[in-house]
Amino acid sequence: MIPDLEAGCSLSDSITLDELKNWKKQHPNAIAVGYVNTTAEIKSELDYCCTSSNAVNVVNAIPKDKEILFLPDMFLGSYVAKVTGRKNMHIWAGECHVHAGITPDDVTKKLDSLKDSEFVIHPECSCTTPMLYDLASGSFKDRNVSILSTEGMLNKAKDSKAKNFVVATETGILYRMRKENPDKTFVPASDKAECQHMKMNTLEKVYDSIVQDKYEVIVPKEIADKARLAIDRMLAIS
């Protein structure tokens, strides 16, 4: 079900099926790895799907002599290439309009504005991939940085002696962090990290979608079967 037909994703839109097919033709022996924010059609052309937190493991599982086509997030691709030291990765120049605007300077200013702040990054949020890349490139090296799951972030907020936190993830988690730790301060890593697509999926529309069965997404079986292969291969690794 999709609660609002207008709720798309600019990252997913940054590669079309024809573009991927042409790219594969130019590199006929390459293994295609694609981030989870892609359409079912795109996934049906992939060898592996990946998320931000398992992308390094997926790439490391591919024999070193094999070329890799990594799509569509250029920040995640550059981060994975840096961490794995892989030189034979071709990276699609796609990006999400939300996270493309976040720079290390924005984050550093936030950290500087709060005394002894901790910087926590959620690797599963597509908005944080530029920050993972910046971190791997040496930015924030004098800072107190942790890469944590949602539960890890909530535990850190509770257990840490720090009073101030800069949080890189979907801004919704800040509500729970503030509620559970009223004596501490939590600010988003970037005020720009709000996705107008995600915000279209309101609680009311989710309710209508479930109660009125709208709008059902039907993926043709042959596409679903091929797309599932890329997802199953990812799950076998992670």
- Rounded (10°) CA dihedral 165, 190, 152, 125: 180
CB of 122 to ligand SF4, least distance (A): 13
- Minimum CB separation of residue 126 from ligand SF4 in Å reads 4
Q: What is the DSSP string of 63-111?
A: -TTS-EEEESBHHHHHHHHHHHT-SSEEE--B--TTGGG--HHHHHHHH
Site mask for ligand SF4 (CB under 6 A), range 171-210, x = bound: ------------------------x-xx------------
Considering beta carbons, is residue 95 or 134 the nearer one to ligand SF4?
95
Q: Between 11 and 71, whose beta carbon lies closer to ligand SF4?
A: 11
50 binds ligand SF4 (CB under 6 A): no
- 130-148 in b/e form (b: 16+ CB < 10 A) is bbbbbbeeebbeeeebebb
Looking only at residues 115 through 174 of this chain, which bind ligand SF4 when binding is defined by CB under 6 A?
126-127
- Note the residues at the interface with ligand SF4 (CB under 6 A): 9-11, 37, 96, 98, 126-127, 195, 197-198
